[in-house]
Amino acid sequence: MSGTTTATARRRREAGAGANRWVVLVVLCVSLLLVALDATVLHVAVPAVTEDLKPGAIELLWIVDVYPLVCAALLILFGTLGDRVGRRRVLLLGYGLFGIASGIAALADNAQVLIGARALLGVGGAMIMPATLSILRQVFPDRRERALAIGIWSAVAAVGAAVGPLLGGFLLEHFWWGSVFLVNIPLMLISLPIGRLLLPESYGDRDGPWDVVGALMAAAGLFGLVLGVKRLGGGEAPFGPFTLAPLLVGGALMFAFVRRQRRRAHPLVDLRMFSRPAFSTSVCCIVLAMLALVGLELIAAQYLQLVLGLSPLQTGLRLLPLTFAAMAAGLAGARLLRRFGPRAMVCFGFCLTAVAVVMLTAMGVDDNTGLLLFGFVLLGFGLETTLFGAYESMLSEAPPAQAGGAAAIGETSYQLGAGIGIALLGSVMNAAYAPGLSSVRGVSPGDSAAAGHSLGEAYDVAARLGGVRGAALRHAARDSFVHGLHVTLLVSAGLLLLGAGMALRLPRVMECGVPAAGSAEIPAPRGVAESRVSA
């Protein structure tokens, strides 16, 4: 009787532990949703901000770019700090800072205050993002459950990125531009007490002192690299002083950071993780997937609005199938991973995305709704399949004690890949687009050069010229843009096939090992029945 009672109690505790893990996942997904929303919600508010605050060209650029710049630069710093002082602690501090910065941004009465508030939002985002992944890595020690959790996590990220512009558009129709920031505050007021009550605290390797100098070197180096890459993506001259200097300084600091970590007995980031083929290959796959595709998102938005003449809201709705397909891939990812393994899954995702990209080369100056719908669905499913498999393999290969550092490396790779992709594919697009405008009859070389900067500028020049010359320039610019889009898609497809070949280095099967006995344990969530979760 006693044995039966003990077994029953044990089963109840295990069921409670499982339930607690999924409650933790819900809290983490709310965190991620908030950061993903804030990364895109401002895009539709830029015209209203410009009209109200009257920022200069440089100030407007910093209003848009300072959030991702600061966030990317500080990911490694706060990811490794969470390993040292507690991941839940860093996450909750990030919640608080995010809420305060949102209030400052909403009430900003000049561009400088808004830039500062956006920078604080970037700091908060850098505290939240790696903490969510590292806590997820810890509370789901079983790889099969962790794969499902990562699938749900990535599906929420896709939802947040897509809903951001739609939510921003809705708020701007009814309120002032500051409302796009105020929506963060109620979520933070709910997340802080719930997170404090339910999230478990966990730590990584706490031996030796935390490398403050190394953390600052990594932050400054990443800031320089991302800033330089973003300037390249914005069409700046590659050898200009304000582009070349950040790249050189950032590269030098990151080289010094790597040397420092190799020499230290207790490094900030254990670079030995990169000696594991699955880890290093997963990181490279994340970079390559984002490099090949993120620039296409911007180009696709321009195509839908400037070539097909759709409104911003119509453009967002046209891109929704991509998001829904990404959500479906995230939710199905755990089952696909168990059945086919990381190698086949990531390779298939790259190949499917390449097929979608090649299919989209059939886009022309006329609207083809069916082609775009089918192409975007394949694109979203393939991309999310690739990123899911790569993220899951990367986290599973990282030691639990380095979960925060590994999560920060993954998020940094994502940001760098996105920045490099915008720069690379933007350069390819410009190189293929501009020559088609050099010989338009009746248009001067100066007007042709101005029209060659972008399709939007070409339309402005055509409107100024008017008459037959303006119509001819407009027609030539539209045709040249579509040609440049086709070339860019083919380059992207080549990069995706390169990624498919790289993915062959990943493990063939999903190894679901049981956590070793005596491994570190995570305290049970506060206020919840006692349960033990292996780290």
Segment-wise mean pLDDT, segments of 10 residues, the chain, 535 residues: 45 45 81 72 70 74 77 81 83 89 87 88 85 79 78 74 70 76 80 81 69 81 78 61 80 86 76 81 86 69 78 74 82 82 90 91 85 88 86 78 72 75 76 79 77 77 80 85 88 90 84 44 33 28
CA of residue 328 relative to chain centroid, distance: 18
Fold of the domain built from segment(s) 270-512: Growth Hormone; Chain: A; (1.20.1250)
For residues 302 and 425, give the distance between their C-alpha atoms in angstroms, rounded to a whole number. Answer: 14
Name the burial class of residue 94, with classes exposed (0-12), middle (13-18) and buried (19+) by CB atoms within 10 angstroms of its CB.
Answer: buried
Vertex 34 angle, CA 31 and 35, to 5°:
90
Task: Name residues whose C-beta falls within 8 Å of residue 290's C-beta, 6 or more positions apart in sequence.
Answer: 413, 414, 417, 418, 421
User: What's residue 523's pLDDT?
Assistant: 35
User: CA distances (Å), 449 to each of 12, 239, 292, 293, 455, in order?
Assistant: 72, 20, 28, 28, 12
Residues recorded for the chain: 535
- Number of CB atoms found within 10 A of residue 208's CB: 11
- Sign of torsion over alpha carbons 109, 38, 306, 296: positive
| 3-state class (DSSP) for residue 521 | strand
CA dihedral 400, 406, 407, 408 (to 10 degrees): 140
Cα→Cα distances 38→45, 58, 70, 233, 346, Å:
12, 21, 14, 21, 28
Token pair of 419 as six digits: 């920045």
CA–CA distance, 251 with 261 (Å, rounded to integer): 15
Backbone angles phi and psi of 501, in degrees to 5: -70, -40
pLDDT of residue 233: 58
The single-letter DSSP state of residue 200 is P
Structure-token match 């400088």, residue found: 112
Q: Among 131, 141, 119, which Cα is nearest to 89's?
A: 131
DSSP classification of residue 503? G
In angstroms, the CA 255 to CA 217 distance is 10
270-512 shares the fold of 1-204: yes
CA distance 535 to 533: 6
Query: How many angstroms separate the Cα of 61 from the Cα of each of 3, 58, 115, 231, 234?
Result: 68, 5, 10, 10, 10
What are the residue ranges spanned by the domains of the chain?
Answer: 1-204, 211-269, 270-512
DSSP 524: P
User: In the block, which residue shows the tokens 């993506």?
Assistant: 233
Burial of 182 (0-12, 13-18, 19+ CB in 10 A): middle
Which amino acid, residue 166? L
Determine the Cα–Cα distance for residues 500 and 389; give it in Å rounded to an integer.
12
| Residue in 395, 401, 132 with CA at minimum distance from that of residue 278 | 395
Topology of 1-204 in CATH?
Growth Hormone; Chain: A; (1.20.1250)
Number of C-beta neighbours around residue 501 at 10 A: 10
Write phi, then psi, for 141 (nearest 5 degrees).
-70, -30
- Output the CA–CA distances (angstroms, integers) from residue 244 to 227, 232, 239, 509, in the order listed: 10, 9, 5, 43
Q: What is the 3-state secondary structure (H, E, C) of 363-427?
A: CCCCCCHHHHHHHHHHHHHHHHHHHHHHHHHHHHHCCHHHHHHHHHHHHHHHHHHHHHHHHHHHH
Q: Helix, strand or coil for residue 302?
A: helix
Q: In this structure, what token pair is assigned to residue 73?
A: 């630069």
Distances (CA, A) of 434 to 70, 437, 452, 462, 500: 33, 6, 5, 15, 32
Q: What is the pLDDT of residue 270?
A: 73
Q: What are phi and psi of 513, to 5 degrees?
A: -75, 155
The one-character DSSP state at 453 is T
